[in-house]
């Protein structure tokens, strides 16, 4: 049982993340897929099946795999659309991996993509929160507003933690992102600027949050045997995990707003799959879901990188810095790269692969063997983890 060493990532591609006004949802898919195919030295006709991670209506055709098959003229194999909020990309990857591990397909394409800036920044996710959903319950919640609830409770519970620690995460990720050509907000910011940025949902300010972004990323996956036979520079999938819970977490009397139980469960599954017993020692670097700074801080704890309640210390001591013991978000994370919802998980796969292949340029972390990607989906509603390594 398990995925360990049964699937290889043979090629990856990623578009520029940003306000891609002059490129459509379809344009970005083609760009990311072409880059992945070139990286894998594989043509589209050789792809046997595809998985698409996306939450929106695609290029306005609604909820179906046609959002991927149409732009690529990929009519000869199945295309499955996967939606699990912000975990859509990694979950699509998971499912693609299952098909390879099951021996069903040998050459599989996974794409994550989202177009968010065809409307104003507040007309995207905020507008959905305002205009759609249950007509009575949860009216008033926005994405920053939800994660802010954790920020408030965390700062209340752990007296040594402060907004300064949150700001340090933003500074770190912007610094890393300034070395990442695909990042949306790829420029450094200093601590004072972050701390004094306008508040969006107490205690979070504008620079504690990821921007509204367009982007796409893709990967070609196969078996390690075939990848070796084709003499490609590949990385192995070591394990994955997914846990899905409740959209109504603020009404759940068991939710303590200090951790993401779905992340913990997903990580547990992935660590079991990968045979990892001491994450801090055995994971060399990670791409985590810093939709907001507080999310990253809590995720250090949820992934077992540090004890619960010590996430603030982890960033304060520089453990997660690029030159730290366990670099987190060397890519710049969601805060610097941006967060096209369905694409983010696949951007993480792209970054893990480039780092493991030694192709991360000025962001390169030395001596990496095992990397972890993690998403939180929705209001603590889902958690997804994937571990890649040599």
Q: Which residues bind other proteins (CB under 8 A)?
A: 122, 126, 129-142, 144-145, 148-153, 156, 198-203, 246, 248, 250-255, 257
Nearest approach in angstroms of CB 145 to other proteins is 4
- Give, as one character, the DSSP assignment of residue 18: B
Taking the least distance from each CB to other proteins, the nearer of 33 and 294 is: 294
As annotated, the active-site residues are 86, 339
Which lies closer to other proteins via its Cβ, residue 134 or residue 366?
Answer: 134
Q: What six digits make up the tokens of 164?
A: 């300064």
CB of 124 to other proteins, least distance (A): 11
Minimum CB–partner distance for residue 133 and other proteins (Å):
7
Minimal distance in Å, beta carbon 140 to other proteins?
Answer: 4
Nearer CB in complex with other proteins: 150/337: 150
Q: In what order do the strands lie in the sheet with 215-222?
A: 79-82, 49-53, 108-114, 215-222, 7-14, 235-244, 382-389, 370-377, 285-287
Name which of 144 and 333 has its Cβ closer to other proteins.
144
Strands 235-244 and 7-14: antiparallel
Shortest Å distance, C-beta 292 to other proteins: 11
Encoding tokens for residue 343?
């694409």
Contacts of 10 (CB under 8 A, 6+ apart): 39, 40, 42, 220, 221, 222, 227, 230, 232, 234
Tell me the C-alpha distance between 69 and 50, whole Å.
8
Burial class of residue 357 (count of CB atoms within 10 Å of its CB; 0-12, 13-18, 19+): middle
Question: What is d(CA 369, CA 382) in angstroms, rounded to the nearest whole number?
Answer: 27
In the bound state with other proteins, the residue whose beta carbon lies nearer, of 248 and 277, is 248
Nearer to other proteins, 113 or 148 (CB): 148
Residue for token pair 């990042």: 183
CB of 384 to other proteins, least distance (A): 22
What burial letters (b/e) apply to 327-338, b meaning 16+ CB within 10 Å? bbbbbbbbbbbb
* Residue 378: CB minimum distance to other proteins, A: 14
Nearer to other proteins, 75 or 136 (CB): 136
What is the per-residue DSSP string for 285-339?
EEE---SBHHHHHHHHHHTTSS-TT-HHHHHHTTTTSTTSSS-B-TT-HHHHH--
Report whether 283 contacts 293 (CB < 8 A): no
Q: Residues 378, 249: contact at Cβ < 8 Å?
A: no
Burial class (CB within 10 angstroms; exposed 0-12, middle 13-18, buried 19+) of 139: exposed
Tokens of residue 198, six digits: 């306008």
C-beta separation of 312 from 184 below 8 A: no
């Amino acid at each position: 049982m398990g995925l360990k060493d049964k699937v290889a990532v043979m090629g990856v591609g990623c578009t520029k993340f940003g306000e891609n006004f002059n490129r459509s949802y379809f344009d970005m898919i083609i760009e990311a897929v072409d880059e992945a195919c070139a990286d894998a030295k594989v043509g589209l006709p050789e792809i046997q099946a595809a998985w698409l991670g996306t939450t929106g209506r695609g290029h306005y055709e609604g909820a179906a795999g046609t959002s991927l098959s149409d732009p690529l003229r990929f009519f000869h194999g199945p295309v499955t659309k996967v939606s699990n909020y912000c975990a859509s990309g990694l979950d699509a990857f998971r499912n693609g991996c299952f098909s390879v591990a099951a021996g069903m397909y040998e050459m599989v394409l996974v794409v994550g993509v989202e177009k968010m800036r065809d409307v104003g920044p507040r007309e995207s996710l905020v507008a959905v929160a305002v205009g759609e959903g249950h007509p009575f319950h949860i009216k008033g919640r926005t994405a920053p507003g939800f994660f802010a609830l954790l920020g408030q409770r965390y700062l209340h519970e752990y007296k040594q933690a402060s907004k300064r620690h949150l700001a340090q995460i933003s500074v770190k990720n912007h610094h890393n992102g300034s070395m990442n050509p695909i990042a949306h907000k790829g420029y450094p910011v200093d601590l004072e600027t972050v701390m004094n940025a306008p508040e969006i949902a107490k205690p979070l300010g504008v620079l504690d949050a990821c921007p509204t972004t367009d982007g796409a990323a893709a990967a070609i996956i196969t078996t390690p045997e075939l990848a070796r036979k084709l003499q490609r520079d590949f990385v192995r999938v070591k394990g994955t995990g997914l846990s899905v819970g409740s959209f109504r977490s603020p009404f759940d009397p068991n939710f303590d707003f200090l951790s993401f139980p779905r992340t913990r469960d997903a990580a547990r599954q992935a660590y079991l799959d990968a045979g990892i017993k001491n994450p801090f020692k055995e994971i060399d670097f990670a791409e985590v879901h810093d939709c907001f700074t507080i999310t990253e801080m809590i995720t250090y704890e949820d992934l077992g990188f540090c004890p619960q309640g010590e996430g603030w210390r982890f960033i304060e001591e520089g453990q997660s810095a690029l030159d730290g013991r366990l670099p987190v978000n060397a890519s710049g994370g969601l805060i610097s790269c941006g967060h096209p919802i369905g694409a983010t998980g696949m951007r993480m796969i792209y970054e893990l692969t480039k780092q493991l292949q030694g192709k991360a340029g000025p962001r390169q972390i030395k001596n990496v063997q095992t990397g972890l990607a993690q998403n939180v989906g929705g209001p603590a509603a889902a958690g997804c983890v994937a571990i890649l390594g040599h």
